[in-house]
Amino acid sequence: MTDRKQTKDDARRRAPAAKAAREPDAPAAAATVSALDDEMAAVAAERDQYLDHLRRLQAEFDNYRKRVQRDSEELRLRAAEAVVVSLLPVVDNMGRALDAAARHEEGQLIAGLELVAGQLRGALEGHGLDEVEVDAGTLFDPTVHEAVLTQPSDKYDEGTVLQVLERGYLLHGSLLRPARVIVAS
């Protein structure tokens, strides 16, 4: 039994030393906590700095997007204004032609309509509009012509335009509307 008593005594003596080994001393623990607090504060400050930078970039991008939309709309309106201003003389001359028609002056009516048509063509050409060249006897080109009908013909070969129903137009070199034609079959 002495061995047992001695073992208990040894365990009691070792317990405070083991407890002290498990628990760090107070000043060292305080220093570690202080260092962790400082590191956490530095990380939080860095996070706040990045967040602030991100918010500023987001605001700059929103402002840029709004400015681009505003400038685009302004450009569109100025372009529309230029087209309308170039068409105003056509509107004026159309009014004059209608006045002449009301007075039954056929010669002046035809001359007025020819003047208006010429002005309108000139105004539209000034904005980049070109007519697709097609006449009867022209070879059908599916890239700029649209075949509405086909008819047999003794005068023209198959695949040749017989009649132009509606003129086609190019705007700045791109097809705006194909010419609608009747093609020989």
Predicted TM-score (pTM) above 0.85:
no
How do residues 51-100 score in pLDDT, each as one tens digit? 999 999 999 999 999 999 999 988 887 877 777 777 777 777 777 777 77
Taking all residues of the chain, what is their mean pLDDT, rounded to a whole number?
82
How do residues 139-170 score in pLDDT, each as one tens digit? 999 999 999 999 998 888 888 999 988 888 88
Q: Which domains does the chain have, with CATH numbers?
A: 1-127 (3.90.20), 129-185 (2.30.22.10)
Contact yes or no for 181/156 (Cβ under 8 A): no
Distance in angstroms (rounded) separating the CA atoms of residues 175 and 1 = 112
For 134-150, b/e burial (b = at least 16 CB within 10 A) is: beeebebeeebbebeee
Kindly write down the DSSP assignment for every residue of 113-142, as one continuous string. Answer: HHHHHHHHHHHHHHTTEEEPP--TTPBP-T
Mean pLDDT score, 13-39: 70
